[in-house]
Amino acid sequence: MTDLFLHNLDALPASSTVCIVGKKGRCSRLRKLLETLRPDLRIIRLIDTDCVDLIHSPELSRTSRAGRQMRSADFILIAQTKFRQTVALLQQEGMPPCRVVNPNFYHPFIQFPSSSERLAGRLEEAKQILHRDEDRAIYDVILKSLSPRGDWTGVYHTLLEICGEPERQYLDFVDASSIRTVLEGGIGDGLTTIRMFRRFRRPIIHGLDPDTENYRQSYLREYIEASRSIHIHPIGLWSSPCRLPFQFSDPGRSSVPGVDRNPGSSDRVEATSIDAFVRGAGITKLDFIKLDLEGADFEAIKGAAETIHSHRPQIAVCMYHRLEHYYEIPLFIASHAADYLFRVGHYSPIHVFSETVLYAIPKEKVKSAS
């Protein structure tokens, strides 16, 4: 086993001792997976990087108990996606060989109990509304990945084959020529906004996001606002107008508590529905809806039933923030959108449950979109 990245747990020699380094939830899930699939391995230490700053911590010293335990391990498994600095530090300290585990090993969507059978049935139901084999392929991968597995090599190669170009995320399959008015739920740093300006013809974009700090600090802001055709609304999206508890967290990760698990300072924010916003803004024709709301995507799309029916917008909505969104979102839109074509784009080459977008395109737009 010479590669840094670990996609097959069977590649760890029998009866090896390991330390796990990473965020608490990822560490505990990886530990549970190892105990289930590789009970012969002995886990001698978990280092929670949410609590321990390895760079300035005595944890790695040769005299500390943690340092001695880590040095006695056969391997150190890194359960975090931002791994380069951690690996470099551990190598500098003369620690045992590091292996960066595939993120799928510790993803919370992996189901240990038999409840995966019910989930598989709903996912199969959603898969049936897709018209193309290449779109159903990501559902096939998800269905195979619900239960714990020790070898992700084949899945990894499949993801490399079906992964779309990241710069096309949210914009694949759409008919750009017919888009003039856009509702963008979740503006982040404005990168997707810039891409829409480049792709669409002089669009008017309404960006809705209760956490605009990332956008305010973005170097893209001056370029976006120079167009004078974007309107930023510091408000959230939900199924109906309301006030919501809200966690302000890392850039691009703020969310409604309960739909995501990110730590952060809590507050309450104003939220509206897409239907209420379209009526209130006097929008006579909404052409495109893009949603990336860190877990509130299904609630937001439930608040767009009237708009979907009367405006027939093209839609790009994230499904990967919650496992049930892979069936709830497509089935809901299909029940309210007559004569729509559904496509799926997946934009992560290493992660099954990440960066997956559902596209819903009115059939009259499909020919020009293709």
Lowest-confidence range among 4-13, 53-62, 127-136, 329-338? 53-62
Model pLDDT, residue 283: 97
Closest CA to 90 of 57, 135, 139, 127: 57
Distances from the Cα of 99 to the Cα of 11, 102, 103, angstroms: 11, 9, 12
Model pLDDT, residue 213: 86
Model pLDDT, residue 141: 95
pLDDT, tens only, 86-105: 899 898 888 999 999 999 99
Lowest-confidence range among 99-103, 125-129, 135-139, 264-268? 264-268
User: Do the beta carbons of residue 340 and residue 365 sit within 8 Å?
Assistant: no
Per-residue pLDDT for 238 more than 90?
yes
pLDDT, tens only, 190-208: 999 999 999 999 999 999 9
344/152 Cα distance (integer angstroms): 22
Q: Place 253 in a pLDDT band, splitting at 50, 70 and 90.
A: low
Closest CA to 315 of 362, 283, 277: 362
Q: Which residues contact 315 (CB under 8 A, 6 or more apart)?
A: 288, 289, 290, 291, 301, 308, 333, 358, 359, 360, 361
Place of tokens 């991968």: 141
Instruction: Compute the average pLDDT of residues 268-292.
Output: 96
CATH T-level assignment (fold) for domain 5-106 = Rossmann fold (3.40.50)
Model pLDDT, residue 67: 86
Model pTM score: 0.90
Model pLDDT, residue 364: 93
pLDDT, tens only, 21-66: 999 999 999 999 999 999 999 999 999 988 877 766 777 788 788 8
Q: Place 189 in a pLDDT band, splitting at 50, 70 and 90.
A: very high
Report the mean per-residue pLDDT for the chain: 90
User: Do the beta carbons of residue 230 and residue 183 sit within 8 Å?
Assistant: no
> Do 5-106 and 118-369 have matching folds?
yes
Model pLDDT, residue 19: 96
The domain spans of the chain are 5-106, 118-369
Distances from the Cα of 118 to the Cα of 125, 211, 213, 327, 356, angstroms: 11, 36, 40, 12, 21
- Strands of 356-362's sheet, edge to edge? 230-233, 204-208, 181-185, 288-291, 314-318, 356-362, 340-346
Instruction: Compute the average pLDDT of residues 173-196.
Output: 95
Model pLDDT, residue 134: 92
238/259 Cα distance (integer angstroms): 12
Model pLDDT, residue 237: 96
Question: What percent of the chain stands above pLDDT 90?
Answer: 71
Q: Place 367 in a pLDDT band, splitting at 50, 70 and 90.
A: low
| Better-predicted residue by pLDDT, 278 or 368 | 278
Instruction: Compute the average pLDDT of residues 69-83.
Output: 92
Rounded to 5 degrees, φ, ψ at 117 are -65, -45
pLDDT, tens only, 131-175: 899 999 999 999 999 999 999 999 999 999 999 999 999 999 999
Burial (0-12, 13-18, 19+ Cβ within 10 Å), 336 = middle
Q: Place 261 in a pLDDT band, splitting at 50, 70 and 90.
A: very low
Place of tokens 């975090």: 80
Model pLDDT, residue 258: 53
Rounded to 5 degrees, φ, ψ at 284 are -85, -25
Q: Place 112 in a pLDDT band, splitting at 50, 70 and 90.
A: confident
Model pLDDT, residue 263: 45
Q: Place 114 in a pLDDT band, splitting at 50, 70 and 90.
A: low
CATH homologous superfamily of domain 118-369? Answer: Vaccinia Virus protein VP39 (3.40.50.150)
- Strands of 17-22's sheet, edge to edge? 5-6, 98-101, 75-79, 17-22, 42-48
Model pLDDT, residue 369: 53
